Amino acid sequence: MRYAVIIEPLRVPLIPEVIALMELGARYITARTYSDYWLYAELFSSTCRVALDESRVVGVALGFRSQDAPDDLYIQDVMTHPDHRRRGVTRELVDELQKQAWLMGCRRLYLTSEPGNSAAHKTWETLGFANVHGDRIFDGVSVITDFKGPGKTRAVYELILGASAARPTSTHTPLT
């Protein structure tokens, strides 16, 4: 039996639950401020999604379409509550971002992960993302030194959405 969650845009009333969930990701994810999540809910809700189990937030994926490279959608954070992992929540969230990206005309999803985050590496490869060639290998993963600034070495993953990519089956339309 498939685990069912509802994926919907981030809304302002859900912000306290999102912050509490993100705080569970300490070490690899830093919870942002209420104001940051307000901005995401008000201006980027088509690509900032939450997974709800009944009315409880059990997952979050925050993505942003690049203004400088509009073919790209960058996924900033993905977090699933520890009690709901390995049930497809992350896949559902990323699939929804992929659908939204496709509808917006994007051709690439990409994200970064800290070196040593082997669970993230496995997740991104399982979801079809490719580890982008970097300038060195760390624990078997290609990383790019200083990718996010001095001392911010990251593994970079990308998923190309091209003519061969499956068109989204969602009936959702992008929010504008």
Nearest to 59 by CA among 7, 99, 3, 111: 7
pLDDT higher than 70, residue 176: no
User: What's the confidence (pLDDT) of residue 2?
Assistant: 59
pLDDT digits (tens, 9 = 90+) for 139-163: 999 999 999 999 999 999 999 997 5
Span 72-126, pLDDT tens digits: 999 999 999 999 999 999 999 999 999 999 999 999 999 999 999 999 999 999 9
- 3-state SS, residue 58: strand
pLDDT in the model for residue 90: 95
157: part of which helix (H) or strand (E)?
strand 155-160
Residue 164, pLDDT > 80, answer no
pLDDT over 90 (residue 167): no
* Bridge-based pairing state of the strands 56-65 and 48-53: antiparallel
111 neighbors 129 (Cβ within 8 angstroms) = yes
**Residue 43 identity:** L
Its pTM stands at: 0.88
Tell me phi and psi for residue 122, to 5 degrees.
-65, -40
Residue 19, classified by CB atoms within 10 Å of its CB into exposed (0-12), middle (13-18) or buried (19+), is middle
